[in-house]
Structure formats: C-alpha cells, structure tokens
Structure 1
Amino acid sequence: MSASERPGRPAVTLAALGVVYGDIGTSPLYAFKEAFGGTHSLPLTTGNVFAVLSMIFWAVTIVVSLKYVSIMLRFDNRGDGGVLALLSYCAQQVRERPRLLWLVTILGAFAVSLFYGDAVITPAISVLSAVEGIVVLAPGLQVLVVPIALGIILALFVLQRRGTAAVGAFFGPVMLAWFLVLAGLGISGIVQNPAVLQALDPRHALALIVEQPGLAFVAASAVFLCMTGAEALYADMGHFGRRPVQRAWFALVLPSLTLNYFGQGALVLRDAGAARNPFYMLAPEPLLLPLIALATAATVIASQATISGAFSATQQASRLNFLPRLRVLHTSDVAQGQVYIPAVNWLLLVFVLALVLGFRSSGALASAYGIAVSGDLLITSLMMLIVLPLAIDARLRWLWPLFLLFAALEASFFAANAAKLLHGGWFPIVLALAVFTVLTTWRRGIEIMRARKEAAPNAVRDGLSLDLAEVPRVPGAAVFFSSSAGGCPSAFLHNLKHNRIVHEQTVFLTVQFDEAPRVPDDERIEVMRGANGIVRITAHFGYREQPDVDRVLRLAARKGVACPVGQTSFFTSKPTLVSVSRRGLFGWRRSLFGWMLQNSTSVANYFELPPDRVVELGTQVAI
C-alpha cells in the first residue's frame, strides 16, 4: 500500500480501538465488582479498597503497559503478533536445539489451547455482565437476564457468516464513546471522594500482601480480571501495526480504565451497598438505560473480536500443521483476514450457550475466566525466558530479568485463579486439554506419515530424474500435488502405474506455509525443470494467507510453465490410515488422527480447484 493509500494515523488508531481493546475495555463491568461483591469477596474497608485499587493500577502498569504494550509488541514475526507468531519466532531461535524446540512447541500449543477457553468465556461473561445492568434499573427483571443474554449471543453467532465488514466501521466510534463514558463516570465518582487517588501509591498493595497474604491471594484472582484481553494487544498487532495500538492504549484506554476503577472505588467507600454492581451505580438513574445499551454494544464488539480471533487462530494452526485442512470462507473481498470457519463457529456457540445456562451470572463465570487468560500470559513469559538467552542481539538478553519478574507475577495470578478450580476454573482447563490433545495428535500423526512416506522405496526416486523415454506422452497439462518438495507425488506414481501415460506438461506442485504471516510475490514460487520434461514448483504462502493455485500458475506462466487452470487436470491423493501395529495404551490417538484425516477438507475444496478438472486417487498410509 502506498503512502497515499494508507489510512491516516487517527483512522488506524480508531480502528485499533474498536478491535483490540474491546475485551480489556469491558473489564470494568465485572472486575472490581468481583473483588467486593463476588463469591470470594473481601471485607469492604477503606484499607482493602485502597489495596485492591493499587493492585489493579500496578498490575495493569507492569503486565499490560510494560510487558505487552512496550516490549512484546516489538517481538513480531514480520509484523504479525499473537501466540502462534511468537511460537514461530521462538522456533527460529532454537531451531538447532531439538529439545528446546520441542519444549517451545508444546508451550505454544498449550497457550493456543487456553486461548479457546478465553474465546468461549469472553462472550458469555461480557454479555451477561452488560445485561445484568437491568437488575440495577429494576430488580424484578433478574429473571430476564439469562434469556436476553442467550438471544444476543445466538444472534451474534448466527450473523458471523455475513462477516463484520458492514458493521466493522462502527466498532471504533462505539468503543471511543465507551471509553469516554468510562472516564466520565470515573471522574464523577472521584470528585466526590478525591482521597481515593491515594491508592496510586504501591505501598497500599504491598501492605496487604505483607500483612494479610491470605486476603491478598483472594484479591489477586479478582484483580487479574482487569487484565483479561491483554493478549489481544499482541495478537491483533498484525492488523494495525505497533504504533496505533500503543497510541490508543496510552492516550485513551489506560487513562479511561484507571479513572473508572478509581471512580468505582470512591463510590463503594461512600455507599457500601453499591458493591453489588459499582459500575452501573456510578451512573445517574436517568442515564442508566442508555448506559446498558452502550455496554451491551461494547460487549458484543468485545465478543466479536474474540470470535474473529478464534477463526484466525484456527486458520493459522491449520497452516502450521496443528490442525487438518478446514473449510474456510472469506467474508470480505477487501480484507483478507476476515474469515469464517463454520465448524468453529457452531462449536463455540454450543459451549457459550452451555456456559450461560450453567453459570447464569457474570460473577459465577469470573472464577472460570481468570485461569485461562493467566495461563496464557504465563506461558508467553516462559517462552521468552527460554529464547532470550539465545538471542543474537545481546541487548535483548537484558530483558531476561524483566520477564522473570513478569513470570513470577503471572504465576501468582495463575495460582490465585487455580484456587477456584472447583468453582468453575476446571472448565477452561478441561477444554484446553481437549484442544491440546487434538493439536498435538494431528501434528504427531503428520510427522509419522511424512516419515513413513520418506522411508518408502519410491521416496528415494526423484521425479525429475525418472526415465520416461518409453512412456507415451498425451496432449495437455497435469498438476500433481505433493506434500514434500522432493521425490514423486503418490498420485503421479499411481497414474503412471495404471494409465501408463505422462502429460506433455507435467507439474509437481508443493504448497508450503512458511513461518511468516505473508510472502511477497517475488518470493512466491521456486521452479525446477527435470531432463524428462517434468517441472517441480514449490509455492510459498504465509500462515495468514489463503493459498491461491490460480495465482501460483499465473506466476509460473511468467517463467515459461503454461498451465491454464481451465485447461489443466489436477491430480490429488486421498490418504487412508491403515493400522500395522498393536493399538497399545495410546491407540485411541491413532483412531482420533484417522478420524480427523478422513474428515479433513479435500485438496480440491481447500484450494478451490474446478471440480470438473480434478482426479482424486486413493492411497494407504500405514501407522
């Protein structure tokens, strides 16, 4: 994009405000309330209120402002962020150390698994906390909270297929209004009790930790809720760049959140009864209904960003061989990153509805929420602790003590949330373990399949050096898809064995996803020509890109390889798993891999090949 075409700074910052900060921006709805009105609440005293506010301010400053906004945004993978981008970065740093590579891969896979727990809980807790405002307006409406929340969530997921292009333009302005309202409500509370600003002094937090460690431990699980969404700062960097995300945080989001939390603290010091819902009780009664509407809109935006993040993470995981090929639909002709994955959408919907029906309130869900996000943040710090000592730039090694501090702080938050394991914290852990099992089973199965193929007798035969002088040539072009950039595609060998012919223009095509978000066209394809007339093309795509075979063949045509899509036959293979060893203790993982293999999207559908030009040949793979 040229400089003239690039949106201005204010526009990009406003867009980042709408997408990046929805999750952390809606935390004031439930975070402070959980500390003094939740299931594990603290005694409402001036000292405790000051201590909790101090913990909130300094936790956000250290973990969000320092770790994520100031440091982690610099650890990008060609401009991209998020756990999978960090995994790619770490893998590059430890590529020559197999044990460390295995360790960071496992940590990265589990962090992604925890993210799905976050993606399920965020819509449930956010929408519930917004709708609960009607109880402040009229306590008799309590019975309507769950039905209204279910209706909003159902509509949100049903409309995913249409994409966010139509309403995405409103996300930024709505969230701008939301943060300004947060700041205004906070100021209105603070001016009535300015003494609450004393809580900016970290000694209030330290006093609670030293003098009453048990209470501090209980408070930590509620305090951590103010940081949910911190990982989104890093994950969404690829959409907007580092600077707009940083500008939005320091110029508006951080001041607004701080003012609102301190305003809530000032309110409960004046009126202890306000602890049951201090956010809504900050507002004058005539403004309560508009505030509920705005809060609902903000939580829908937060949920939308999380759901879109789940689609994006699933697509990236598939490209990095953690998941099989999945049916991905693009909901925008302009924005490549806007995708919709039906299977993920409906699975998320089922889990979110089950959470709302099972927990029925944001307070009950708060116990489940913190453990997923705190685990995700802790794993990020652990991965950095592993790779920083190996950094080529010696200056980066000086960050190691800082990440040790981050890890210690996040470990304490994780422990505090883990104490609520029996009160809902089990849910994201069970879900993460299930997702982790799927991710690692698929990756391990693919590794075994490739090893078996490479060990097969035909694998040592280079297709470009085969003697095809006696094989009849037929007019036309044929593309044979190959999973590796060497040897012979199994579909080609089957065609040669049964039909005993070779097309005049025969191409072996391998599509590889690199550990980078995008690949420029001048680095897109590699072309090798064999003495027997066969051409091998290796096409490279980033894990955020949609593989485009037509684009690859057009680039190949510039290098003298003519294969028009409408006049070319595409040969693919459909592998079938065959068991050749005893099932053993973990035989169920082989069955799971076989099921995923059979139900993965076919090569033809995945690459959107013309159906009437595809020939699919079956192959058996022994595991």
Structure 2
Amino acid sequence: MRSQDLDSQEVVYELFSFIFWTLTAISFIKYVLIVLKADDNREGGTFALYSLLCRNAKVGLLPCDRNANQVMLFEDTATPPSKINSHSRARRAIEKHKFCHYLILFLALFGSCMTIGAAVLTPALSVLSASYGVQRSLSELSHLFTSSQHTRDSVSNALQKYVPVPAACVILIGLFVLQPCGTHKIGFMFAPIIAVWLLFIGAVGVYNIIFWDVEILYKISPLYLFKFMRNLDVSRWRLLGSAILCAAGSEAMFAGLGHFSKKSIKITFICLIYPLLVICYAGQAAFISKNLQTNNFNHLSQSVPSHSKHIFIVVSLLSSAVGSQATITACFSIINQCLALNCFPRVKVIHTSKTIHGQVYIPDVNWLLMIFSLAVTIGFRDMVKIGNATSLAIISGMLVTTSLMSLVIALYWEKNLLISACFLLCFGVIEVAYLSACMLQFHRGAWYLVVLLIVSMTVMLSWHYGTVKKYEFDLQNKVSTEWLIDVSPGLGISRVAGIGFIYTDIVTGIPAFFSHFITNLPAFHQVLIMVSFKSMPVPHVPESERYLIGRIGPRDYKIYRCIVRYGYCDNIRDTNDFEEKIIRAIGEFISIEHVTDIESMVSPDERMIIVGNSSDGNALVPLMNETSNQVSIMNEAQVSPIAMDDNDHTVLASSSKSCKKRKKVRFMLPPASSVPKMDESVKKELLELIDARESGSAYFLGQSHLVVRGGSNYLKIFLIMVFRFFERNGREPPVALKIPHAALVEVGMICSI
C-alpha cells in the first residue's frame, strides 16, 4: 500500500486488526485446521479437490473418465462403499445437471491458473521488495559520506535506478536455476535461512512492540474491525487489497502438500510461523503508528533497528528467494495433476524424490515462470502494482478452494448440507470482501493477472477441448473385435514373428488407425497387445492393481488387451522396464486364466482381470539384462510408405528399417518344482509369448490430426489452432512412452470435427 493511504493511528490499528483476524481465520482455521484434512492421499490443490469430487460424485468431464464402468472392475480403496450415500440429495442434484459438471471443472482450471499466476508474481514481489530495502540502506550509507545535498540526491537517484531491478533479476534467475535440484535439496539449503529469517523478524517485532507501543497487542480486538466498517469509503476499502498479502502462502501451502507431510506443515505453522508472523505484524504496526511522518514508513526495513540493518539486508535478500519457493513447487504440483488429467499440454515431468512421489520438477514450466517473473519485474518496477496483482491471484485461488471445499464437505465427507453452507458463507463472505477490494486496484497493476489468466486458461481449455474431440473421434470410428476375428481372414492377413504393441486411447474395440493399417497392409504380429493408459482421479495406483488384462477373440489369435491404470502423481511412462512389466502381467494373466471363468473373458463387454506384477515367478521368470538387437519385426516391404486414395486418410507417418542396440530383459518359464501342475496349453502359450518376445517388438501409434469443418464458429477454430500448436511443439508421445524409434510405426489420421 502507499504511504499516503495511512493518515492516522486509528487506520493503522484497524488494519492490524484485519491482518490478525485474516491470518487467524483464513490461514489458521480454514487451511491448517480444515482444508488440509481434505488431502487426496497426501496431495493438495484445487485438482486434488476436483479428483475427490470425481470419485464420489459423477461430475467428471475428462475423456479418461468415460467408459470406465464397461471394463474397469475395481473398487476405489480410498473411499469405502459404506461411506458413500448414493441417495444423497446434493449428489443427485449435481450429477443430474450437466451445467454443474462444467462449472466444477471450470473452477478447478481457474484455481490452477491462479496458482500459476501466483508462481509468476510472488517471486517478483518478494525479491523486488528485498532489493528496494537494499537500495534504501545503501542510500542511508551514502548520506553518511556525502555532505552536499545535490550529491546525495544524485546518488539516491542512481541507486534507485540501477540497484533494485537489476538485483531482483539476478536473484530471480538464481532462484529458478536452483529448481532442478529438487524440493528436498532446496529445502535442505533454504531451511536454515527461513528459520533465521522468521526468528529475526520475530525479534524485530518484539523490539518494536516494547520500544514503540506495547498496547498494540490490545488492538487485535474485533472492535477495530467494526470501527473500520463504520467509517467505510472507497479509499479505506481499497486498503484491504494489500492486507490479504499476510495470508499469501496459505493456498501454496495446500497446493504444495505433496512436497511435504501434512504433520510437518501443521506443526511448523502452529508452533513457528503463525506466532512469529503475528509478532512481526504487531511490531510493524507499532512502528508505523508512531512514525506516520517518515517517508516509506510501511516498509519492513524502516522498522529495523539501525544496528541490525546490515543483518537485515543479507537475510532479507536470501529469504526473499526462499519465500517464493512454496508457490513455485505448488505450481509444479498443480500442472503435474493437470497433465495426468489431460488439461495441460505434454511437458516433461522429473520426479526428484524416490520416496515422496509428489516432489516433481517441470523444466519447461520452470523457465517460462522465470521469463514471466522477469518480465513483471522489469515491466512494472513497482512493488505496489505487482502486489495488487498478487493479491488478486491469492484471493481468487482462495475463493475457488472455498467453493470446491464446500462440495467436498457435502459429497465426500457426507456432512450435513447446513455445515457445508456455513463453511461456504463464513469464509466465502470474507474472501468476496477481499476480492472486491482487490478489484478496486484493477487499473493499478491487477490487470496483469487477467492477462496471465487468459493465456493459461486458453492453453488449458484448448488442450482439454482438443483431447476430448480426439477421444470422441476415436470412439466413434473404432471397429468391433468381431471385425478383426471374422472379417480379417478374408483379407488374407499373414502373421509375422514378434510382438506388436498398439497404443490407443480407447479401452474397447479396435482403434480405427490399426484397422486402416491392416486393411492396406494385410499383416500383423504373432502376438498383439492393445495398450491403453487409463488416468484415474487418484494420486497413486498400487502396482498390484495397475494392470487390467483381457483377451480379444479366441486363444489361438493371441490378441490381448492391457489397460494400464495410473494416478496423477504416478510416473509409469518414463520407466525403462515398462514393456517388461506388461509382458509379465500378460504372463500372469495366461497362467490364471484357465482357472477363471473363460466366458467372461471373451464376452462383448471385454471384461478384464486385475493382474499385478508378482515377484514369485508363477508365470514368467526374468533373466539378467543383456544387450540384444531390438528390431522392428516387419521387413522392408511391410514397413514401406503406403499410398492412399482420397477416400482413405491413413498415412504411414514414420517407419524404420534399422536395428538398434538396447538392453532387453529375457524371460523363461519357472522351474517345474515351483509350478508342478502347469497346464500344457498354458505352458505352450507362455512359450509362444517368450518366442515372440525374443523375435522383437514393434510399436504402433496413432496420430490424429484435428481439422475443423467449414462453417465452424470462430471459437472452435481458435481452440483447435491453439491445440494443434501445442501438440506439434509439445513433448512427443513416443518420447513420453520411451518407444525406440527403430521399432516405431506412426499411423496418421485426419479427424474432421
């Protein structure tokens, strides 16, 4: 806030009362005591709340949620059936109206965009604020060594021009360069700094309370809240836009829950952060109330005793970077969740911890955040304007969390609707009041947040829209399994040695791109495996429940379907042994199929069996890794490009004629002593699977290119254009799947929407 806005002691006392009760009500009561209990298996943020709602009410609009009941025979272990009341009036009302589904998804995306905006603005604000403190201290030092007023003014102007912004930029670059180290290493480096900073500002707060105004502690009385409201006008109401910054880290604390344990966050906040922040704000309010005539009196550096200012300079510079860390890690967590639920373009995600799955680092996002933060710092060069935009981002994210949390209380916790309504009203009214105050500062920098919102929301909505349309096209153009079994023999199809992995988004039927491929090139592999990735609205899926295996057609065809279920924090695609895990899961399926109801395996519903990667060796025993040739099975004639007529849009996008050296796990049957009663038909099929594995593997990947039909509205055209841009420039699916290029066959199709 500006110095001229605080014109009396009473205004200072009233604002301090607002700060205390805001910190208590929002940060302490709402987030620490209530919202942190709504974690999704130790994951937080708006998308974690959204995933809870998707699992406990049918509100999912994401393409990965469809057709789940047809093939997914599993129970959600996170929510016992006894806890869900299917006859809940609130659940029935929300599930019935499609508008509610779109509104909840929009809230989740909007909250995610606010977290991204805070990750851009908070580092710029905190670092620039510390840099201005350095500039003021250097100006005071220059006054001690210069006697001429003209020289003092010249030095002050030079310091103000050349110190704050360049210093802030250097610190920002250093902060984002450190992000690849991971949360654990950064926390290990920064924890002592933040501890020293908190103790230091707490000590300064105690000093200011004792030296300037001991009675400031009595000003926390709610009476001052009513005094503020009684004399309310536009200029006084605008001051609340800055007061909300006291709770700036609350939303980031919840969104970054995956990086830390819930217990450690609660203990640290209750025992250290909360009391020290209250003391610090009380001390600063005591100083301001007695120094209204001082220039820049509302900056923390002005209230620091003169003999401690040099310590303050060093610690504030270091802590300014540390204070921004929470929002950056929260941004990584939110985008990782959006990626898994198909609401963000494909980017590389690096898991920086083997024990804490929520600790992730996203390089592309990290450098984009750095660029936007530098642009904000250089473009505005004003803490007040950046603070206004930050306040709007923080309060908007809080309001979204309050709205989704009220639904979680009613639908997931199964509490009375009155309790849910009380939560929404109590905290919603407070946050709406702060939101209105922040909107009064829209022309003073808050507009930049809207720019960030438009950019990030456009990216998320366009990617979600394009993903949904591609999925719907694949679903509408798939062919039945009977086509492959009954019609394909008439095409004269030949079987070649090896395993063919067909990656597809659909979980029933045969993907259209593969049917086009074998229609024009009548050959496929000795063993076919239809692989589908199924994103679940949970953080993690246990290894024992990850693979759903089924058989397509008769046993002699050796065509299998493998659905890989994963949570939004699982990292299954970037593992080098992913193919080996699928082979082992199919081996387990073959070994247990003969004792299971076979009719259910070949029914039209294509029901599946949950198969885990057991280590007891009942089906296939892996041998030591050895280097061998990984060959695309089809010969040169079979993988040559295909010329198509105008009626068939299939295009062979890429192929390979070369061999590639890579490490491959070999398999063998378990010893007869461990499995003495293995059926001969099972043994034969397992041996055929091993032989196909030894012959090599080929990978078929469909590439659907969206094309907008003539006469479509401009909004659809724009969304598809954005989607295609990020699809071309994002991370390629073969890279994300660790598919060797020597064995990759991409088949392109034109999708008209």
- TM-score by length of structure 2 reads 0.73
Q: Which residue is equivalent to 2:321?
A: 300
Q: Which residue is equivalent to 2:121?
A: 121
Q: Which of 1 and 2 has greater Rg? A: 2
Cα offset, 1:394, TM superposition:
3.0
2:568 is the counterpart of 1:543: yes
Please list, as runs of the form range in 1=range in 2, the aligned pairs for 1:192-211 lying within 5 A after superposition.
Answer: 192=211, 193-211=213-231
Cα offset, 1:386, TM superposition:
4.5
2:45 is the counterpart of 1:82: yes
Asked whether the 8 Å contact 1:491–1:571 carries over to 2, the reply is: no
Cα deviation, 1:348-398, whole Å, max 9, x if unaligned, reads 222211111121132231121111111111122222345544456235752
Please list, as runs of the form range in 1=range in 2, the aligned pairs for 1:477-496 lying within 5 A after superposition.
Answer: 477-496=499-518
Q: Which residue is equivalent to 1:146?
A: 165
Cα offset, 1:451, TM superposition:
1.8
How far apart are the structure 2 equivalents of 1:576 and 1:380? Answer: 36
DSSP 3-state at the match of 1:138: helix
Q: Which residue is equivalent to 1:504?
A: 526
Asked whether the 8 Å contact 1:494–1:617 carries over to 2, the reply is: no
Asked whether the 8 Å contact 1:489–1:508 carries over to 2, the reply is: no
Give the % identical residues.
27
| Structure 1 residues 327 and 167: CA distance shift in structure 2, 3 A | closer
Asked whether the 8 Å contact 1:94–1:101 carries over to 2, the reply is: no
Aligned partner of 1:241 among 251, 261, 273? 261
DSSP 3-state at the match of 2:572: coil
Asked whether the 8 Å contact 1:131–1:148 carries over to 2, the reply is: yes
Aligned partner of 2:702 among 553, 573, 583? 573
Cα deviation, 1:195-223, whole Å, max 9, x if unaligned, reads 11111211112211123344541221121
Cα offset, 1:132, TM superposition:
1.4
Asked whether the 8 Å contact 1:481–1:572 carries over to 2, the reply is: yes
How far apart are the structure 2 equivalents of 1:149 and 1:583? Answer: 47
Cα offset, 1:573, TM superposition:
1.7
Asked whether the 8 Å contact 1:221–1:417 carries over to 2, the reply is: yes
Cα offset, 1:579, TM superposition:
2.8
Q: Which residue is equivalent to 1:528?
A: 550
| Structure 1 residues 336 and 237: CA distance shift in structure 2, 3 A | closer
Cα offset, 1:257, TM superposition:
0.3
How far apart are the structure 1 equivalents of 2:204 and 2:695? Answer: 62
Cα deviation, 1:566-619, whole Å, max 9, x if unaligned, reads 942221122222232323232222222222233332221012222323222222
Query: Which runs of 5 or more residues in structure 2 are unaligned?
Result: 59-94, 140-155, 589-688
How far apart are the structure 1 equivalents of 2:101 and 2:418? Answer: 19
Aligned partner of 1:73 among 8, 19, 36? 36
Cα deviation, 1:158-203, whole Å, max 9, x if unaligned, reads 4434545544312222222221112111111111221111112111
DSSP 3-state at the match of 2:747: strand
Aligned partner of 2:6 among 31, 36, 42? 42
Aligned residue-pair number: 585
Asked whether the 8 Å contact 1:117–1:432 carries over to 2, the reply is: yes
How far apart are the structure 1 equivalents of 2:516 and 2:376? Answer: 50
Could you say which structure has the higher helix fraction?
1
Cα offset, 1:462, TM superposition:
5.9
Q: Which residue is equivalent to 1:55?
A: 18
Asked whether the 8 Å contact 1:129–1:361 carries over to 2, the reply is: no
Question: Structure 2: which amino acid aligns with 1:111?
Answer: G
Query: Which runs of 5 or more residues in structure 1 are unaligned?
Result: 1-33
- Across the aligned residues of Structure 1 and Structure 2, the Cα RMSD in angstroms comes to 2.4
| Structure 1 residues 523 and 397: CA distance shift in structure 2, 3 A | farther
| Structure 1 residues 335 and 67: CA distance shift in structure 2, 3 A | closer
Aligned partner of 1:428 among 449, 456, 465? 449
Please list, as runs of the form range in 1=range in 2, the aligned pairs for 1:218-297 lying within 5 A after superposition.
Answer: 218-272=238-292, 273=294, 275-297=296-318
How far apart are the structure 2 equivalents of 1:275 and 1:310? Answer: 33
DSSP 3-state at the match of 1:322: coil
DSSP 3-state at the match of 2:700: strand
Asked whether the 8 Å contact 1:79–1:237 carries over to 2, the reply is: yes
How far apart are the structure 1 equivalents of 2:542 and 2:325? Answer: 30
| Structure 1 residues 392 and 47: CA distance shift in structure 2, 3 A | closer
Q: Which has the higher contact order (CA 8 A, sep 6+)?
A: 1
Cα deviation, 1:126-161, whole Å, max 9, x if unaligned, reads 100111111331223323111111111123334434
| Structure 1 residues 446 and 313: CA distance shift in structure 2, 3 A | same
Cα deviation, 1:416-459, whole Å, max 9, x if unaligned, reads 00111111111101211221122112212222222222222x34
DSSP 3-state at the match of 2:526: strand
Asked whether the 8 Å contact 2:178–2:186 carries over to 1, the reply is: no
Asked whether the 8 Å contact 1:575–1:621 carries over to 2, the reply is: yes
Asked whether the 8 Å contact 1:94–1:100 carries over to 2, the reply is: no
Cα deviation, 1:460-481, whole Å, max 9, x if unaligned, reads 4467856655632211112110
How far apart are the structure 1 equivalents of 2:468 and 2:333? Answer: 24
- TM-score by length of structure 1 reads 0.88
Q: Which residue is equivalent to 1:24?
A: none
How far apart are the structure 1 equivalents of 2:37 and 2:328? Answer: 25
